[in-house]
Structure 1
Amino acid sequence: MGTWEDLRENDHRLTRRVASWRSPAARRVLPAVEEAAQHTKLWWGAAFVMATAGGWRGRRAAAVGVAAMAVAELVSNGVGKQLWDRRRPPKEWIPHEEVHDRPDSSSFPSGHTAAAVGFTAAVAGVWPSAGALCAVPAVMVACERVHTGAHYPSDVAVGALIGLTAAALTHRAPRLAVRAALS
């Protein structure tokens, strides 16, 4: 790989492969995951459970998770989608009925994936076992975005990178603020 044409070909091949999953479990679980992830309900719910049942570590994990999710959404939806106007994958690539229920906004990058990965990675930095639990639905969200034709795999990959970066920045922000205040 090395050219835009190679990237497009790999996006095409991977999108068709993931969209053609015929597993009854995938057909039941992925739409439920997508519904839970809409408007970040899944991550707000996880944050609530951590904050109320996880003691001090749970509250801290919830706070950094929500902060990283907010940064990831701002960068992906507020900046990325405004800078790159990429059409969603062609409907012909998606061999099932979910292809008709896709957003009208730019495909690039995946905001759902950015939010999921940002939340999960930030939580994992504070409470690794809770982060591991969050990783399961985060991966499912990423797969669902490609399966339904809402995104290309490269949109999801960049969304994941945005989420990881947001989590890293969220963990470093307090130290950077203290360092700036002391200098």
Structure 2
Amino acid sequence: MRIPAGLYDADRSLATLAAARIPPDVGRVLSAVEEAAESTKLWWGAAAAMAWLGGRRGRRAAVTGLTALLLGQLVANGLGKRLADRPRPPKEWFPHDEVDDRPDSSSFPSGHTAAAVAFTAGVASAWPAAGAVCALPAALVALERVQSGAHYPTDVVGGAVIGLAGAWLTHRAPRPIARRRA
């Protein structure tokens, strides 16, 4: 995937700024949130808590969020990474050793961000307060993907757009006839 020079320069500036300016304690928090979000564990756990504690509204929010998440993951990881084939950011940009622990797959788009944003936006459409609570860890996941050297900022933006599209499509999907009558 060929990126215009100006966009590449912006990616480099933002990535090196994120890697150098985030204090170590904040970096550890970001890593912990990313680890919880790995393989979408954080979002499945949040959905389980909503379904268990949130009654009908919580169950609807959990199903909507997980449906959006699955759609976002399918598009980002199943289609986007295969089409883009963008290498990860250069290791020299990052003054820490987290950069050594990153996947070999295409950098674009960020699947972690797509999942986080899709889940959060899907939940927010069904239960705005729960969506607001999910927004903080979703933002931390997106920031961590750049700070750790796993993604360029434009990869994260691409993942966020895919996540929002997944949530929008999930929200707009036709409802089963039995649910419309109720």
Per the normalisation by structure 1, the TM-score is: 0.93
Q: Given the alignment of the two structures, is residue 44 of structure 1 paired with residue 44 of structure 2, yes or no?
A: yes
1:29 deviates by 0.1
1:95 deviates by 0.8
Per the normalisation by structure 2, the TM-score is: 0.93
1:20 deviates by 1.0
Counterpart secondary structure, 1:149: coil
Mapped partners of 1:52, 1:174: distance in 2: 25
Identify the residue that residue 172 of structure 2 maps to in structure 1: 172
1:150 deviates by 0.3
Identify the residue that residue 74 of structure 1 maps to in structure 2: 74
Mapped partners of 2:6, 2:164: distance in 1: 25
Identify the residue that residue 26 of structure 1 maps to in structure 2: 26
Mapped partners of 2:67, 2:27: distance in 1: 32
Identify the residue that residue 116 of structure 2 maps to in structure 1: 116
- 5+ residue gaps, structure 2: 178-182
- List per-residue Cα deviations over 1:60-101 (Å, max 9, x = no partner): 000000000000000000000000110000000011110100
Identify the residue that residue 180 of structure 2 maps to in structure 1: none
- List per-residue Cα deviations over 1:1-51 (Å, max 9, x = no partner): xx8111101000000001113413312201101110100000000000000
The amino acid of 1:125's aligned partner reads S
4+ residue runs over 3 A deviation: none
Alignment root-mean-square deviation, CA: 1.2
Q: How does 1:136-155 map to 2 (within 5 A)?
A: 136-155=136-155
Mapped partners of 2:6, 2:14: distance in 1: 12
Aligned length: 175
Counterpart secondary structure, 2:67: helix
Percentage of matched positions with identical amino acids: 62
